[in-house]
Structure 1
Amino acid sequence: MSELKNSPWITCFLRPQELLLLLMLRWAIAYMEDPAFPHLGDSSQPLPRACPWRCSCPRDDTVDCAGLGLSVFPDNITKAARHLSLQNNQLQELPYNELSRLSGLRTLDLHSNLISSEGLPDEAFESLTQLEHFYVAHNKLSVAPQFLPPSLRVADLAANEVVEIFPLTFGEKPELRSVYLHDNRLNNTGLPPNTFLGSEAITTLSLSSNQLSYLPPSLPSSLERLHLQNNLISKVPRGALSLQTRLRELYLQHNQLTDSGLDATTFSKLSSLEYLDLSHNQLTTVPEGLPENLTILHLGRNCIRQVEAVRLHRARGLRYLLLQHNELGTSALPAGTLRPLRALHTLHLYGNRLERVPPALPRHLKALVMPHNRVAVLGERDLVSARALAELNLAYNRLASERVHPGAFRRLRALRSLDLAGNQLSRLPEGLPPSLRSLKLQRNQLRALEPELLAGLKKLRELSLAHNRLRVGDIEPGTWHELQALQVLDLSHNELSFVPPDLPEALEELHLQANRISHVGPEAFLSTPHLRALFLRANRLHMTSIAAEAFLGLVHLRVVDTAENPEQVLVQLPPKNKGALSPKG
């Protein structure tokens, strides 16, 4: 071969066609003798790895064919694949011979395809002895695969049309940790008692949004999170939760549970339970036997008329008690009912029929949320036991100024947010604590602002006075003097005829929409150099109503909303206000 390559004289006796062949042969010989040529016997120079057309193979063991609109299972998948992604395609079936050939698969992702139970051969899984993660959510399965390998750790069959589970679908899986079956059509018949037999490592089980009528028996004792919301459950059979001592989260909201569907032992053995959601059911009382480690109890949207202290006695560690939208009336929370809950942080009583603040509130309570009740009186000592309150929401009740005691808020030295919107107050409350950051008084009947009632609120950042009956003459001089930290002031939907003078210097956002303002003078915003947003929509402004000098010095101003006035108002902002919107609308 080397002689042929190095014999220049031989070319003299060849015809043109023979000469061309000779030159090609010489080139091939030179290429093969090149040290860089990858010889088949040279393991240091591997052949290029095959990857299915249009798919990507970022690693030797990974094949990614997601989101390609595939309707046929891709060929040429390497047998070395450990992770195969086929989600978001149009696959209707998986060929047995192709799938069973990939015996080393650990992850098979078929999420969001069109695969039916007939298109998912059970025999194929017999070869997938190393499969750990199986995702087939958002397909068209009517029954679960009859056999899944014992190596499985995560199985996601959510959002299909599954009506039946078989014993070896999830049974005899010692490594199985998470099972997702939500958004299917399972009833109790399709979920046999031995569904999870031999799978005692499952920590997360989601059966929400199915058609279960009672809590399934024989659930794994290893469970930590159990989702059963959005079913038809009316009963928890006695002992159904007696072995789940590791359970930390139990979701039973949006079912048909009644008092008779629970008993004193239903939750009593759940010694690790921290979160229990029983909202949107038909309970008329707090369940018995609540575990002592319970942290969050959600009972909203039931028919509870009274809370008995004995029902809360064991749950001393409770931090969040949610009782909104029930039928709690005058005597629903007698004195002492909440006293055992020494760690209670938040009490939600939104949308009930309460006429007074519950007596003897826990001393460490941080948030009391009870808008949309019938509270008409706030006495001097109604809140005295809850001196740690940081948030108090009494919006949309029936409070009138003459029935709010001057000392009602005085002892709340940690209060940061006070919401009294939607009441019948004609003047600001007295004794507001200096710790306040947010004060909401919109939709009342305020006719005057007195500086004495706002004195000391040096930390107040947000003040809402919208939808009242305020006029500029009703705002006494010095009203804003001590509000040194105020950044947001809402005076919209009042009866103001011009911009109130001497507004707080720190103000950044000023709402004056829907008033009677017809003129904005050059001195209107001299006291508010940090103003960023100004809302003058729906007033009585005309084309020349705003003085050209009004915005001089407002270098931070970015939004001026003057829409919905009698005439289009053009606002000339200073040159430094690049990117400002003027007018808006």
Structure 2
Amino acid sequence: MREILLLSLLALCSAKYIQPLKFLDLLKMHDIMMQDEGEDDDDNNFLFPTRKTRAVTPSGFPYSTCPFGCQCTLRVVQCSDLGLTSVPKDIPTDTLMIDLQNNKITEIKENDFKGMNKLYALFLINNKISKVHPKAFRSMTKLQLLYLSHNLLTQIPDNMPKNVLELRIHDNKIRKVQKEAFKGMRSLHVLEMSANPIENKGIELGAFEGMSVLFLRIAEARLTAVPKDLPSSLYELHLDYNKIGKVEVEDFIRYRNVQRLGLGYNQIKTVENGSLANLPNIRELHLDNNKLRKVPYGLASLKYLQVVYLHANNISSVGVNDFCPTRTNVKKIPYSGISLFANAVKYWEVQPATFRCVSNRMGVQLGNFRRRK
């Protein structure tokens, strides 16, 4: 099965996607070798055979069934950068991966992927897709990677494949996340929705109901507050580059499992006392490039917090107990990084004991204050 991994990489690395698809990393994250249906990797290795290999067509289907202009190798169909306006009609039904990125496809029709019940990954990045038929994904019972980024979708397509592990739908024109938009997608772990004009009112109550997402990014949107109805299972939440102006006490009550939180590049002026207490497991906190005037209260009580970004704010002073707990409390893990540069902090006035719970002196970045232009 080693040949599937190597030839899949060769097939996709030639694409000229806007942000190059790091397929090698993708293979490390997802066990594509599970798609091997009983083949003996040691005895039937196409690229590095251990015994005499028969001269057969890769993956078992003849080259004549490969769509015109595409490259088909070992159940990987690569049709990127061909100027296609629709999905090719002669893709073999036993295909594992389809690469259609960087084309001009405008619509996904009902029968475009009919019968493809073995498909593992579908890449439709950087097309002009504005419409997806409600039954377009009905055959995809084993699909785990679905990339719809850089298209013209105005809403989440109906009847999404239920077994998808990773869905990337960023940089579209989605303004509304309708109720039950991800209905039945209980296996979804990674959801990327950034660069869509989504406002808080555009996320309907129940849109994420029943989901167990671990990673969610809604950056570069139009959020003015932390959404209150996201999946409670989240380990990573990224809301950078929005218009959030304040962090309120109830914002994180639902997200107690979050270990990495991104709120950088917003307009946050205040973090209400008690807000951070609802993040007992947080390891990394990004509050850089905001409008904070002081270090948020409650950092010292976060026993597992290791990295906190506070640079490029309006912080003018740092208290001796802002980051580290008092003797009666215990910090389980010391800080490995605290950034405070590009603030109005007079570093020579900061008491040495302020960073007593930092692992080493290189873990603190104060720098000189430079007035913003």
TM-score, normalised with respect to structure 2: 0.76
Change (3 A) 1:196 1:407: same
- Please give the alpha-carbon distance, in whole angstroms, between the structure 1 residues aligned to 2:114 and 2:180: 21
Change (3 A) 1:175 1:411: closer
- Please give the alpha-carbon distance, in whole angstroms, between the structure 2 residues aligned to 1:376 and 1:405: 14
Show structure 2 runs of 5+ residues with no match: 1-6, 12-54
Task: Assess if the C-alpha contact under 8 Å between 2:342 and 2:368 holds in 1.
Answer: yes
Moved over 6 A (4+): none
Change (3 A) 1:229 1:203: same
1:253 is the counterpart of 2:194 = yes
1:232 is the counterpart of 2:190 = no
Residue of 376, 391, 405 corresponding to 2:316: 376
* Count of residue correspondences: 311
Residue of 307, 321, 324 corresponding to 2:264: 324
Report the AA paired with residue 353 of structure 1: K
Structure-1 residue corresponding to 2:149: 208
Structure-1 residue corresponding to 2:364: 418
Residue of 75, 87, 99 corresponding to 1:156: 99
- Per the TM alignment, residue 198 of structure 1 is displaced from its structure 2 partner at its CA by 2.3
Q: Deviations over 1:332-381 (max 9, x none)?
A: x1121111212211111111000111111222100011110000011122
Task: Assess if the C-alpha contact under 8 Å between 2:200 and 2:224 holds in 1.
Answer: yes
- Please give the alpha-carbon distance, in whole angstroms, between the structure 1 residues aligned to 2:61 and 2:155: 39
- Per the TM alignment, residue 230 of structure 1 is displaced from its structure 2 partner at its CA by 1.1
Change (3 A) 1:399 1:175: same
- Per the TM alignment, residue 391 of structure 1 is displaced from its structure 2 partner at its CA by 0.6
Residue of 54, 58, 68 corresponding to 1:83: 58
Residue of 248, 253, 258 corresponding to 1:308: 248
Change (3 A) 1:192 1:373: same
- 3-state SS of 1:168 partner: coil
Report the AA paired with residue 347 of structure 1: L
Structure-2 residue corresponding to 1:427: none
Structure-2 residue corresponding to 1:170: 113
Task: Assess if the C-alpha contact under 8 Å between 1:284 and 1:303 holds in 2.
Answer: yes
Change (3 A) 1:313 1:147: farther
Task: Assess if the C-alpha contact under 8 Å between 1:309 and 1:336 holds in 2.
Answer: yes
Structure-2 residue corresponding to 1:282: 222
Residue of 270, 293, 298 corresponding to 2:211: 270
1:297 is the counterpart of 2:255 = no
Task: Assess if the C-alpha contact under 8 Å between 1:253 and 1:277 holds in 2.
Answer: yes
Task: Assess if the C-alpha contact under 8 Å between 1:380 and 1:408 holds in 2.
Answer: yes
- Per the TM alignment, residue 148 of structure 1 is displaced from its structure 2 partner at its CA by 3.3
Change (3 A) 1:257 1:106: farther
- 3-state SS of 1:167 partner: coil
Structure-2 residue corresponding to 1:499: none
- Please give the alpha-carbon distance, in whole angstroms, between the structure 2 residues aligned to 1:278 and 1:321: 12
CA-atom RMSD in angstroms: 2.9
Structure having the higher Rg: 1
Report the AA paired with residue 159 of structure 1: N
Structure-2 residue corresponding to 1:356: 294
TM-score, normalised with respect to structure 1: 0.50
Task: Assess if the C-alpha contact under 8 Å between 2:251 and 2:275 holds in 1.
Answer: no
Q: Deviations over 1:263-321 (max 9, x none)?
A: 342224221x1111111000011112232331211110000112233332232221110
Structure-2 residue corresponding to 1:137: 80
Task: Assess if the C-alpha contact under 8 Å between 1:184 and 1:209 holds in 2.
Answer: yes
Change (3 A) 1:108 1:418: farther
- Please give the alpha-carbon distance, in whole angstroms, between the structure 2 residues aligned to 1:172 and 1:369: 49
- Please give the alpha-carbon distance, in whole angstroms, between the structure 2 residues aligned to 1:82 and 1:151: 14
Task: Assess if the C-alpha contact under 8 Å between 1:202 and 1:222 holds in 2.
Answer: yes
- Please give the alpha-carbon distance, in whole angstroms, between the structure 1 residues aligned to 2:237 and 2:362: 25
Task: Assess if the C-alpha contact under 8 Å between 2:228 and 2:254 holds in 1.
Answer: no
- Please give the alpha-carbon distance, in whole angstroms, between the structure 1 residues aligned to 2:257 and 2:360: 22
- Per the TM alignment, residue 204 of structure 1 is displaced from its structure 2 partner at its CA by 0.5
Structure-1 residue corresponding to 2:33: none
Change (3 A) 1:154 1:399: same
Q: Which has the higher contact order (CA 8 A, sep 6+)?
A: 2
Change (3 A) 1:149 1:401: closer
Q: Deviations over 1:205-242 (max 9, x none)?
A: 01001111111111001110101111111111111112
- Please give the alpha-carbon distance, in whole angstroms, between the structure 2 residues aligned to 1:374 and 1:411: 24
- Please give the alpha-carbon distance, in whole angstroms, between the structure 2 residues aligned to 1:246 and 1:411: 39
1:180 is the counterpart of 2:120 = no
Report the AA paired with residue 255 of structure 2: A
- 3-state SS of 1:339 partner: helix
Report the AA paired with residue 165 of structure 1: I
Q: Counterparts of 1:87-98 in structure 2 under 5 Å?
A: none
Q: Deviations over 1:500-548 (max 9, x none)?
A: xxxxxxxxxxxxxxxxxxxxxxxxxxxxxxxxxxxxxxxxxxxxxxxxx
Task: Assess if the C-alpha contact under 8 Å between 1:131 and 1:151 holds in 2.
Answer: no
- Per the TM alignment, residue 411 of structure 1 is displaced from its structure 2 partner at its CA by 4.4
Q: Counterparts of 1:458-473 in structure 2 under 5 Å?
A: none
